[in-house]
Amino acid sequence: MDDLPSKHPHILFLFSDTGGGHRSAAEAIIEAIQLEFDGRISTQMVDIFLDFAPRPLSYLPKWYPYMVRLPDVWGAGYKLSNGSRRARLIVESVYPYVRRSLRKLISQNPADMIVSVHPLANDPFLHALGKHRPPFITVVTDLVTTHALWYHKDVDLCLVATEEARQRGLLANLRPEQVKVIGLPVADRFCQPIGDKDILRHQLGWPPEAPVVLLVGGGEGMGPLEKISLAIAQANLPITLVVVTGRNAELKQHLEAQQWPMTTLIYGFVHEMPDFMQAADILVTKAGPGTISEALNAGLPMILYSRLPGQEDGNVDYVISEGVGVWAPKTSYIISALHAWITHPQQRELVADACCQAARPEAAREIAHILANRLGIQNE
């Protein structure tokens, strides 16, 4: 994904695989830079924990999937640390331990601009960089309930996904000109004009007539996918059910062995998710910010079945307030929502229209232009 160093302006992206959203946001912006500026800006991604942090911090990307499986503990930690003063104290207490690693990273990766897509990168890197530094820009990858660590008064610019996230930045003492609402950057393949459902279903080999319910649990196939899919089967709704189990091969095999009363298609990890979303009628998913943004771009109504306490709490409120989906943390609620949208397709169409109104498919390209303008590069 990285470009080779060149005479062109060079941007260093700070991320970590503690949650899929940080990497995918950085990759989406880099892709947009390549599409819009055709090699005139070079880029590099560095995992702030895996590549340079001392032990045990270097293990955080490996630990993260296990940490989020304890949502109550995660939520408590998020709440306890989420305040400007508390967050700063935590970071400052850790800084002496990571200072040498940060300075090594900075010296080995010179850049004309630094873009952070991870909240834990901002304060320590700005501290290590000192006064004579390149522009430092933060791209917030949470939608609404953004942690205080996202906001640092010394950043040159903070780009956020929603007005709610902007207001949180202002409450964290950022100046109005420092915070700009752009939307969440997602890969370009999720930002294409919505295609014809019938054509897409034919290409995918899906039945054309029944409404399609798409059930996903992220790339790792996490969450209660089996429980939800079996509940949908028991309800015997007049639908086509598409279940994406991601890398969870055991779950895929188990679901394939089931007897289904309706047409049910089981997939593992897929690269055709943009087509899946555009071909489907309803998405059943957890409240991840990337998936929500991708569904908005596809005009796809959402039923949210779970969220990570803390950073994803606001995603549920956002989906409800924008009229783009519903919150259904119990299987009975999921079945009720499906039944309502299937028996009253006009209601579903209104939600699909609201998705299109809330979508920001140009977010990654807008960010690319903002970064380029800061580097003095104009689009040809």
Report whether pLDDT(242) > 90. Answer: yes
According to DSSP, the β-strands at 179-181 and 212-216 are unpaired
Enter the DSSP assignment of 160.
Answer: E
Share the mean pLDDT of the chain: 92
| Residue 87: Cβ-neighbour burial (10 angstroms; 0-12, 13-18, 19+) | buried
What confidence tens digit (pLDDT) does each residue in 7-17 have?
A: 789 999 999 98
E-state strands within 89-225: 113-116, 136-139, 157-160, 179-181, 212-216
Q: Residue 258 corresponds to which tokens in the numbers above?
A: 């089931």
* pLDDT band for position 93 (cuts 50, 70, 90): confident
Q: Are 128 and 103 in contact (CB under 8 A)?
A: yes
- Domains belonging to the chain, first-starting first, are 10-188+362-374 (3.40.50.2000), 192-358 (3.40.50.2000)
Residues linked to residue 264 through DSSP beta bridges, in sequence order: 241
CB 12 within 8 Å of CB 46: yes
How far is 40 from 254, CA to CA, in rounded Å? Answer: 49
Cα separation, 245 vs 143, whole angstroms: 25
CB-based contacts of 99: which residues, under 8 Å, 6+ apart? Answer: 128
Q: What is the pLDDT of residue 180?
A: 98
pLDDT exceeds cutoff 50 at 61: yes
**pLDDT score recorded for residue 70:** 79
Sorting pLDDT into bands at 50, 70 and 90, what band is 1? Answer: very low
Percent of the chain at pLDDT above 90? Answer: 76
- Per the CB < 8 A criterion, the answer to whether 183 and 366 are in contact is yes
Q: Give the Cα separation of 148 and 83 in Å (integer).
A: 6
DSSP structure class, residue 4: P
The DSSP 8-state label assigned to residue 380 in this structure reads -
pLDDT in tens, 311-342: 899 999 999 999 999 999 999 999 999 999 99
How does pLDDT run across 129-161, given as a tens digit for each residue?
Answer: 998 999 999 999 999 999 999 999 999 999 999
DSSP 3-state helix, strand, coil percentages of the chain (rounded to 5)? 50, 15, 40
Residues 296/358, Cβ–Cβ less than 8 Å:
yes
Q: What is the pLDDT of residues 185-240, one digit of tens each?
A: 999 999 999 999 999 999 999 999 899 999 998 766 667 999 999 999 999 899 99
- Per-residue pLDDT at 297 exceeds 90: yes
CB-based contacts of 2, cutoff 8 Å, min separation 6 = 43, 44, 45
**pLDDT, mean of residues 231-254:** 94
Q: Is the pLDDT of residue 376 over 60?
A: yes
Global confidence as pTM: 0.93
